[in-house]
Amino acid sequence: MTSLAKFVKQWALDEGFALAGIAPSTPLRELEYFPAWIDAGFHGEMDYLARTNEVGKLRRAALENVAPWARSVVVCATNYNSDAPYSTQESDRSRGWISRYAFVEADYHDLLLKRLRRVEQRMVEHVVSEGRPAPRTWCYVDTGPVVERVLAQHSGVGWTGKNACILNQKLGSWLFLGVILSEYALPPDLPAADCCGSCTRCLDACPTQAFIAPRELDATRCISYLTIEKRTAVPEELRGNMGRHLFGCDICQDVCPWNRRAPVSHDPAFAARLELVNPPLEWIAGLTPEEFRKLFHNSPIKRAKLSGILRNAAIAMGNSGDRKFLPHLRNLENHENPAVAEHARWSIAKLEMMPDADPNT
């Protein structure tokens, strides 16, 4: 099994993953917080996180609750960092911000799943070629009932930073994770050491104070959740602190010292789509359904739907403090989607209350 583990990690690198490691399937203490976190409602409208198995146990609270047959987990990580500025380096409030993982060329789910499945296939073929029965395996990229970052920590791929992201000393935190659950007990790697030290930059920089504690997030306050997952109205007390975010938020990663020298990926799939880096708000606010489909058909951004992006653009225009957006907001005020219309009205009121607002604009 030791040589198979070595082979599997090499095959992952052959497929373009930057890192690979093996995590154990035993209960992990980092998941002990999960039931109380769900009970407290910190997952908001992400009901899938609260799904239970046939005996009522939270699926994500332990690997045995979802795949009791699994004996080890192969964790693979891809560097998606592109040659584009960080959100904290840009201050033009008339432009919006799309999260780094979403302004690249490829939709990582499909791409990485294909690569992961090739690793899985080689693993199964290798076992069968040695005269053993084909092992049971499952592959996931972001969509499985497992907490990938905890598995990544135990595979040695990286440690969980205080910003709740996986960090690697060489690559930083711009990492997509994929996992292969395996029936075979491949020998686990050593967990990664925590290198956050006394730093608290990420916790201090969060504009909506979304961290309950280091590594523990109240998702209902996080801009990533608010701009992508939240389908109903964004609480008014949070809108002002959402800044110009259109889809996701990178602030707690942008400020991390480990990302200062994070290398850029050479994979063309993760090259930045320049039109999506810091896009003008009026362009996004004027997108038609057809333009939205064309622009984002191969992008994670489609998850937010056009109505979600327009709602977020309305908030961002209100937060810009720039009255030039009033005509765009008045268009959105009449939008057929009530959430878009209501958030546009909120922003109009905000801009009109500004001391130098011209009522005739």
Using CB under 6 A as the binding rule, whether residue 206 contacts ligand SF4 is answered as yes
What is the Cα–Cα distance from 55 to 52, expressed in whole angstroms? 8
Looking at residue 225, the DSSP 8-state letter turns out to be: I
Does 326 help bind ligand SF4 (rule: CB under 6 A)? Answer: no
Decide: is 106 part of the binding site for ligand SF4 (CB under 6 A): no
> Shortest distance, CB of residue 188 to ligand SF4, whole angstroms?
24
Q: How far apart are CA 53 and CA 59, in angstroms?
A: 6
In angstroms, what is the minimal distance from the CB of 164 to ligand SF4?
7
Residue 206 or 310 with smaller CB distance to ligand SF4: 206
Cβ 202 to ligand SF4 shortest distance, Å? 3
Binders in 177-196 for ligand SF4, by CB under 6 A: 196
CB closer to ligand SF4, 199 vs 287: 199
By C-beta, is 137 or 312 nearer to ligand SF4? 312
The smaller minimum CB distance to ligand SF4, of residues 10 and 200, is found at 200
Q: Convert residues 144-173 into a mask of x (bound to ligand SF4 by CB under 6 A) and - (unbound).
A: -----------------xxx---x------
Sequence length of the chain is 361
Interface pick for ligand SF4 out of 117, 201, 305, 335 (rule CB under 6 A): 201
The alpha carbon dihedral of 318, 323, 328, 332 has a sign of: positive
Question: Closest approach of Cβ 251 to ligand SF4, in Å?
Answer: 4
Task: Say what angle helices 305-320 and 326-333 make with each other, to 10 degrees.
Answer: 140
Nearest to ligand SF4 of 63, 223 (CB atom): 223
Stretch that binds ligand SF4, among 37-45, 121-129, 138-146, 204-212 (CB under 6 A): 204-212
Catalytic residue among 14, 47, 107, 142: 142
143: tokens are: 């969509």
Which residue in 10, 121, 169, 200 binds ligand SF4 (CB under 6 A)? 200
Beta strands 216-217 and 211-213 are antiparallel
Closest separation in Å from C-beta 226 to ligand SF4: 8
> What are φ and ψ of residue 184, in 5° steps?
-85, 140
Ranges within 249-308 binding ligand SF4 (CB under 6 A): 249, 251-252, 255-258
**Could you tell me the strand order of the sheet in which 175-182 lies?**
19-24, 72-79, 175-182, 137-140
Which one of the spans 63-71, 205-213, 277-285, 347-355 is the region binding ligand SF4 (CB under 6 A)?
205-213
For ligand SF4 (CB under 6 A), the number of binding residues is: 23
For residue 199, how many other CB atoms are within 10 A of its CB?
A: 15
Burial, 359: exposed, middle or buried (Cβ in 10 Å; 0-12, 13-18, 19+)? exposed
Nearest residue relative to ligand SF4 (C-beta): 161
Give the nearer residue to ligand SF4 in terms of CB position, either 257 or 327. Answer: 257
Q: Judged by CB, which is closer to ligand SF4: 110, or 194?
A: 194
Name which position in 137, 208, 299, 320 contacts ligand SF4 (CB under 6 A).
208
Residue spans of beta strands (DSSP E) within the chain:
19-24, 72-79, 97-98, 137-140, 159-160, 166-167, 175-182, 211-213, 216-217, 245-247
From residue 339, alpha-carbon distances to 28, 211, 307 in Å are 40, 27, 8
Q: Is 194 a catalytic residue?
A: no
Distance, C-alpha 275 to centroid of its chain: 20
What are the beta bridge partners of residue 140?
A: 179
Contact 173, 253 (CB under 8 A): yes
Binding site for ligand SF4 (CB under 6 A): 161-163, 167, 196, 199-202, 206, 208, 210, 217, 222-224, 249, 251-252, 255-258
Question: Which residues participate in catalysis according to the annotation?
Answer: 142
